[in-house]
């Protein structure tokens, strides 16, 4: 029958299809079963490449760091040697300037000038070697694993990037910009006997400004907008004021034999209350904070031009040979760089600044045409010193090593008192001109 072969063929086709699906099922199971092993093989091969990369990176980085340390130690040794030479020269120059004859001073300066010219070339050379080095791992993100396994491409490599840096960058010193934020004109009120004169100013940590009116024997408190929010009459002639905590200020007085320091509490509503008053031995005309428990006090009519005064009234001397000169209280001012243990003293008569390094008992004398009539001094960003110069109506910024960084002209005559906020973002300055006395606050950028 014709039908029978057709049925046989149809059955064979079905049997073949079943066999195919069964075979395909076995093949799929075998393929899936082998996948983990293939992956493990690839992982093992890649792990070998990672291990090789790790070994190469450790070897290369260790060798590079060793070379950098050798180079760095050589540069450190050279710079330390130069620094010791300069320190010796500074001490020698100080001794000659204090005890030497005019002829000895001339010879010393002449000889040191020659030495400094030669040494400066060495310093410039060492400064030219300054650099930063960044070490990182650069992975190969584009090559296929097969190419990496077959060593056609590397898995990754050590990346070394060297950048030159300048000595100014290392010092962290840069000129700042001052932008006028607030200004008030100081005028005589009904209760004042004289035109106000702010002989000292400082910022409380919260941002309020405190000031002493030297002519009317008064302590004033101003808010952020320079609105007067509080005041108190003083029974003595104040010379300086400093914020010693969030709500406490210290005022010095050294007139009429009344040498004292008064601590006052300043409430949030600017109410002022006496905490305590104690007698001191020195005549103090400027003050700044040394640490939580001590002040650095500038003196006048004394051999020790700066002293340490604890908030409990204990007076101590710095281990520094200050220059000996009796000053009028308006011709000298003092501040202190806490991080560097340096005392700064301005000299109005000589138009210069002294920077005393307490740790080494050395000093740098800063003399420049921009420093003309220096009065108040304060420490700002990057430990820069800011000094009022009344003859040029400006504030000059100086690095802690004595380099002039910038000079800012002010819209006021005879700037005298200066302070900088605790966060180093604001600067306040007042003047001593008979007319148009002002208090100005600047933003530091």
Q: According to the model, what pLDDT value does residue 29 have?
A: 87
Each residue's pLDDT tens digit, 203-232: 999 999 999 998 999 999 999 999 999 999
Whether residue 189 is found in the same domain as residue 336: yes
Whether residue 187 is found in the same domain as residue 260: yes
Whether residue 236 is found in the same domain as residue 376: yes
Residue 262 bridge partners (DSSP)? 251, 277
Q: According to the model, what pLDDT value does residue 120 have?
A: 82
Whether residue 220 is found in the same domain as residue 296: yes
Whether residue 62 is found in the same domain as residue 144: yes
Whether residue 97 is found in the same domain as residue 214: no
Token readout for 172 is: 């962290």
Q: How many domains does the chain have?
A: 2
Among the candidates 121, 142, 171, a domain finishes at 171
By residue count, the chain amounts to 445
Q: According to the model, what pLDDT value does residue 57 have?
A: 85
Contacts of 417 (CB under 8 A, 6+ apart): 198, 199, 200, 201, 211, 375, 376, 388, 429, 430
Among the candidates 132, 147, 171, a domain finishes at 171
Among the candidates 109, 136, 171, a domain finishes at 171
Highest mean pLDDT pick, 123-127, 187-191, 193-197, 248-252: 248-252
Whether residue 65 is found in the same domain as residue 184: no
Vertex 350, ends 301 and 95: CA angle to 5°? 80
Assess if residue 371 is contained within a domain: yes
Assess if residue 28 is contained within a domain: no
CB count in 10 Å sphere of residue 165: 11
What's the DSSP call for residue 191? T
Whether residue 236 is found in the same domain as residue 144: no
pTM of the predicted model, to two decimals? 0.72
- Kindly indicate the confidence band of residue 256, based on its pLDDT and cuts at 50, 70 and 90: low
Continuous segment of H or E residues that includes residue 67: helix 3-99
Domain that holds residue 125: 38-171
Cα torsion 174, 179, 182, 185: sign: positive
Whose CA is closest to 346, among 319, 386, 296? 386
Average pLDDT over residues 142-150: 79
Q: DSSP string covering 75-113, please?
A: HHHHHHHHHHHHHHHHHHHHHHHHH--HHHHHHHHHHHH
Residue 160 bridge partners (DSSP)? 135
Whether residue 296 is found in the same domain as residue 421: yes
Supply the CATH number for residue 242's domain.
Answer: 2.120.10.30
Whose CA is closest to 154, among 59, 38, 60, 46? 46
The angle that helices 3-99 and 102-128 make with each other, rounded to 10 degrees, is: 170
CB 428 within 8 A of CB 160: no
Assess if residue 59 is contained within a domain: yes
Token readout for 210 is: 């405190």
Whether residue 165 is found in the same domain as residue 182: no
Whether residue 109 is found in the same domain as residue 186: no
- Top-confidence residue, 331 or 154: 331
Assess if residue 427 is contained within a domain: yes
């Amino acid at each position: 029958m014709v039908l029978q072969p057709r049925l046989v063929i149809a059955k064979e086709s079905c049997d073949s299809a079943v066999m195919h699906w069964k075979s395909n099922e076995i093949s799929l199971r075998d393929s899936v079963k082998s996948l983990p092993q293939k992956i493990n093989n690839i992982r093992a091969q890649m792990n070998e490449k990672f291990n090789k990369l790790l070994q190469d990176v450790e070897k290369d980085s260790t060798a590079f760091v060793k070379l950098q340390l050798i180079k760095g130690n050589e540069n450190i040794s050279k710079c330390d040697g130069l620094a010791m030479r300069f320190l010796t020269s500074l001490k020698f120059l100080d001794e000659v300037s204090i005890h030497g004859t005019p002829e000895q001073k001339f010879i010393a300066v002449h000889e040191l000038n020659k030495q400094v010219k030669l040494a400066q070339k060495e310093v410039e050379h060492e400064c030219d070697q300054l650099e930063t080095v960044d070490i990182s791992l650069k992975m190969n993100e584009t090559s296929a694993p097969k190419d990496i396994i077959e060593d056609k491409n590397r898995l990754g490599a050590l990346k070394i990037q060297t950048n030159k840096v300048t000595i100014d960058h290392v010092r962290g010193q840069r000129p700042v910009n001052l932008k006028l934020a607030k200004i008030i004109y100081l005028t005589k009120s009904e209760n004042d006997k004289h035109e106000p004169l702010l002989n000292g100013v400082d910022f409380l940590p919260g941002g309020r400004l405190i000031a002493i009116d030297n002519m009317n024997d008064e302590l004033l408190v101003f808010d952020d907008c320079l609105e007067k929010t509080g005041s108190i009459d003083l029974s003595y002639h104040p010379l300086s004021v400093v914020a010693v905590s969030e709500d406490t200020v210290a005022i010095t007085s050294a007139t009429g034999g009344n040498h004292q320091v008064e601590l006052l509490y300043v409430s949030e509503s600017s109410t002022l209350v006496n905490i305590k008053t104690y007698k001191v031995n020195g005549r103090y005309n400027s003050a700044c904070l040394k640490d939580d428990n001590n002040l650095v006090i500038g003196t006048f009519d004394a051999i020790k031009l700066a002293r340490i005064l604890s908030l409990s009234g204990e007076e101590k001397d710095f281990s520094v040979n200050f220059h000996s000169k009796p000053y009028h209280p308006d011709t000298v001012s003092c501040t202190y760089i806490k991080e560097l243990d340096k005392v700064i003293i301005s000299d109005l008569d000589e138009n210069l600044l002294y920077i005393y390094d307490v740790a080494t008992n050395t000093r740098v004398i800063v003399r420049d045409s921009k420093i003309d009539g220096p009065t108040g001094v304060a420490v700002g960003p990057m430990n820069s010193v800011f000094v009022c110069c009344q003859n040029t109506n400006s504030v000059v910024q100086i690095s802690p090593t004595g380099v002039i960084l910038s000079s800012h002209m002010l819209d006021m005559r005879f700037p005298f008192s200066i302070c900088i906020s605790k966060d180093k973002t604001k600067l306040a300055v007042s003047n001593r001109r008979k007319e148009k006395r002002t208090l100005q606050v600047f933003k530091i950028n």
